[in-house]
Structure 1
């Protein structure tokens, strides 16, 4: 077989589902064997074809296939062993760049062959230099790999690697393996080229040297693949975002005014206008008016249910929030010394609020409650007048009524009007264009207007797990308060009874990839699901008609109930002094609730929602995206913090595709002696 016929070998794929690097190695074994047959054939050498030039054409063809393999970005890890290996990998890559430039010039049509000395100098630099040769660098790499398990050592700083690199541990190991495998293929190719070149120039037989090089290379690659496969099998495949250096509106969003601290006097919590009960009596009530335009006239009314009232103290100072704030109050300071929120300066001026006695024996108390308001479609009301009164620092006191009744202000929780509150979740599917063979390459939660959406990234899947560049699939905005969509079909409105969200980690069956995600309702729980589609690894073709939705439909009423993740006195997560870690597990749920009374006056809804995109780092590179098989939702928090709800993705399991097949045969050459003729410049 002549060199021209060798190119066909590269176009033939193996039946086994090898990774791209492993496949190129296997193909090169076949081409290499045929090249040695040519090189050791006197008729081929004496045919006048120019054996050295013909050789460069075959190796330049090999490079074209190496260039098609997705290149992992250069990894900087907190691993001494990886640092040493990386140094030698760069040496080999540097040699290879010069080598390919040389063979490109020689293989170009009409080019004048370089002098023999230049060819021999290149072969010597690859094989002979005791300090800087490719052979020496390859031996060093092999020594480092034998020194320890480089893949497991790189995962010692697993959490920081995930945060800094935005790669799952599994993806990190796979990219490390590909980096090593591709570089070793380059080094091995250069060494075999050099042995063949020396044979062509009659400097010796070199069959034994080439055979030994091949044997050691096969052993080394087999050991590396075995170690990588074992590490891949145990490495975590989930990827998520960590706390950014600074929390901004670009990194998180809030559900607003779902359950909010709300001050109300008990005289306005019953239809009789009396103060004969206490705050704790009003576990479920509503506003019935505004007695004598007291403090109630200076704040936005709770038009829905007033829940879980409690009495703190008779008199207080209240600092109202600004015009455009989602809060009602910045802080509250009671005369008994208790403070709710962070007391400090008050831009709009604080307001004195005092309970009062009515008819001598009825104390009309101000209660601290929760407001749950989902009944009113329009609640843009007299805020300007209220703020004008606040700016004038008007005193609002509890009072006596009929000499016997003291009318106190209560502190309640308010679930505000749905037209003002931002507590809608879209139930519409976010799916990749599988008819165009596209798969999900990332996802994020976004807030468009008042609605939270799942928004995905997608890329075209091609052969052997490679995905072309990602593109963002923008979610379609809509406004439920304007009549867009249908409750329960297009969106879900969080309420006091229906504010749970399930935390699950969902993965596809073997041979399937991630192609979509959505929310749906199971009872009172907002539930996360993924769409999974089977594919052919070798060709990359999807089977859209076999797609399926996957979920964990476990509930609190199941045989093994879904567990609730409790929040303990949750302050705003943006106030945390240390990075928040994932504290949830699969098959849990969490409820949106109010922030802590003492820390924040119950003015915010927690958890916050992490809206950072979760897209594996390679997916942001124009050379390709990362293949995913699953996704999920998690909670990142700590004791005393409301934390964040965020999405995660699960990278595809490549472990079964990593395998260094042994070369098919050993070299055999009995046509000539094995005499070695030193290189003479």
Structure 2
């Protein structure tokens, strides 16, 4: 199939060069070159048409659809299958039309110069052109019916840029604590597994926290929130605390046999802390590995509930969606463009897309502002409220002009504002009657479970999208291989932009097995078949 594609590309390039040379000869009145050019057209253009028609069969269009959404090196946004089919169709149709015009021109010139009667060849050419284009249109329209309209972003080639993703920090994070500190009586008469919900009561002598002499380090490593779901850990080991600026508590835990949990190799050995377990008479005081749910200044766990809308007064609609984090609050951000006739946008300088000023968010605010209210302006994650729905909201009759989050039954839910418009004129209609939509199948959602997740920034392969319907996902800690120090999934902050108006917006999950993955935005464009006009009456 790749060899066929190269032949198609070769033919299109040959046709474009011939058309350009012919245009140059005619525009510069260089008629002395015209006989040779017409001879070349008569000899080669039918061959080009034959090549295009031979290789653009149903198998070709299936190949284009099935291979349009692949994340190669340096690929950022992938076209929707629908768009890829439409773009190839336009290129091939334009090439066939140029061939038709060039050949008809040769018949016209020869007729004018009394070199014969070319009415019949001209009619046959018209019939052949109509048949070829109609055949290709039928192939394309058939594939468009089942083609995805989703536009989404690939992972970057590396994650050296921390702005390429967003982390929820210090949420349900792994901690080490001795059993003696998990109960008010300072006793060691239970198992770690019996501590499903407790807190840090004190710092018993010779326990891990008792060895922390630095007050700042002590406040970083001790959990001052709710301690959940403990389990037994091997007797004694070394702990390498993370840097003060890090959202992690530990870089890694190292056992006496040299094995380690955590994945971070850097450690100042002067700061290593010993975590011992011990026997007190006939009772063993075990080290437990638990999870800390501790809201506070170091924990970014907030989602904005404010709406983000385009400037409909200037006939602008949403053209892109992404995530950002401002003042520790995760927010949706949008790009906007003026809507023009026939499903087109005003042109923009794409070099400015990385500029944050190119994107619009809701008015900046902080959770500490006097007029800001939890549950109205923002949502706070907790162990019992940590779900986000992976919804896609589509309206094929209206265009997207707003996005926002809402919380329903403890789940974060995406909602999309849509506005009526005239496709031919590109004008928004009845703006005041714009409507917020959501996925109404909220009672039938299935949990998408993460299996032994590590940080996806450590993956050598790009994430694979999972586009299932009616799923939700819970934010949780990474696996023990990361010492459960990170909250996954991350949120992909890549700027996803479309060159076509949006019929919908969605959230999806992408990952590789064994990694926590990313939640990301996807855009749903209008069906490209709207722009395909049958050629039967040509």
2:488 equivalent in structure 1: 606
Structure 1 stretches lacking a partner, 5+ long: 1-77, 106-113, 375-416, 617-624, 665-681
- The CA distance in 2 between the partners of 1:644 and 1:232, in whole Å, is 28
1:649 has 2:523 as partner: yes
- The CA distance in 2 between the partners of 1:226 and 1:216, in whole Å, is 15
User: Residue 292 of structure 1: CA displacement?
Assistant: 4.8
User: Residue 154 of structure 1: CA displacement?
Assistant: 2.2
**3-state SS in 2 of match to 1:155:** helix
Structure 2 matches for 1:217-616, cutoff 5 A?
217-248=129-160, 249-292=162-205, 295-296=208-209, 298=212, 299=218, 300=220, 301-334=222-255, 339-342=260-263, 346-349=267-270, 350-358=272-280, 360-374=281-295, 417=296, 419-470=297-348, 472-475=358-361, 476-481=363-368, 485-508=372-395, 510-543=396-429, 544-555=431-442, 558=443, 561-583=444-466, 585-597=468-480, 599-616=481-498
Contact 2:321 2:332 in 1 (8 A): yes
- The CA distance in 2 between the partners of 1:145 and 1:345, in whole Å, is 56
**3-state SS in 2 of match to 1:250:** helix
More moved, 348-357 vs 117-126:
117-126
**3-state SS in 2 of match to 1:142:** helix
User: Residue 589 of structure 1: CA displacement?
Assistant: 0.6
User: Residue 255 of structure 1: CA displacement?
Assistant: 0.8
Partner deviation per Cα, 1:313-370 (whole Å, 9 max, x = no partner): 3322111111211111112234588743248563244211213444x24443332211
2:70 equivalent in structure 1: 160
Contact 1:305 1:373 in 2 (8 A): yes
**Cα distance 1:143–1:603, how it changes in 2: closer, same or farther (>3 A)?**
closer
Cα RMSD over matched residues?
A: 2.6
Task: Give the structure with the larger strand fraction.
Answer: 2
1:97 has 2:7 as partner: no
1:20 equivalent in structure 2: none
Contact 2:69 2:79 in 1 (8 A): no
Contact 1:81 1:153 in 2 (8 A): no
Contact 1:265 1:366 in 2 (8 A): yes
- The CA distance in 2 between the partners of 1:530 and 1:641, in whole Å, is 30
TM-score (norm 2): 0.88
Contact 1:123 1:197 in 2 (8 A): no
**Cα distance 1:570–1:328, how it changes in 2: closer, same or farther (>3 A)?**
same
- The CA distance in 2 between the partners of 1:480 and 1:443, in whole Å, is 23
**Cα distance 1:93–1:343, how it changes in 2: closer, same or farther (>3 A)?**
closer
Highest CA radius of gyration, 1 or 2?
1
- The CA distance in 2 between the partners of 1:580 and 1:313, in whole Å, is 34
2:101 equivalent in structure 1: 189
Structure 2 stretches lacking a partner, 5+ long: 213-217
Aligned to 2:3, which of 80, 84, 105?
A: 80
**3-state SS in 2 of match to 1:313:** coil
- The CA distance in 2 between the partners of 1:271 and 1:661, in whole Å, is 82
**Cα distance 1:364–1:145, how it changes in 2: closer, same or farther (>3 A)?**
closer
Contact 1:440 1:628 in 2 (8 A): yes
**3-state SS in 2 of match to 1:307:** strand
**3-state SS in 1 of match to 2:405:** strand
Contact 2:71 2:154 in 1 (8 A): no
User: Residue 628 of structure 1: CA displacement?
Assistant: 2.3
**Cα distance 1:482–1:94, how it changes in 2: closer, same or farther (>3 A)?**
same
**3-state SS in 2 of match to 1:275:** coil
- In the alignment of these two chains, the number of paired residues is 516
**Cα distance 1:344–1:135, how it changes in 2: closer, same or farther (>3 A)?**
closer
Partner deviation per Cα, 1:515-535 (whole Å, 9 max, x = no partner): 222111112111112222232
- The CA distance in 2 between the partners of 1:178 and 1:487, in whole Å, is 50
**3-state SS in 2 of match to 1:650:** strand
**3-state SS in 2 of match to 1:240:** strand
Contact 2:65 2:82 in 1 (8 A): no
Contact 2:80 2:148 in 1 (8 A): yes
**Cα distance 1:86–1:284, how it changes in 2: closer, same or farther (>3 A)?**
same
Partner deviation per Cα, 1:110-153 (whole Å, 9 max, x = no partner): xxxx4764555544443x3x24xx3442343233335x542113
Partner deviation per Cα, 1:348-403 (whole Å, 9 max, x = no partner): 44211213444x244433322111123xxxxxxxxxxxxxxxxxxxxxxxxxxxxx
User: Residue 170 of structure 1: CA displacement?
Assistant: 0.9
TM-score (norm 1): 0.71
User: Residue 225 of structure 1: CA displacement?
Assistant: 1.0
Contact 1:593 1:606 in 2 (8 A): yes
**Cα distance 1:118–1:355, how it changes in 2: closer, same or farther (>3 A)?**
closer
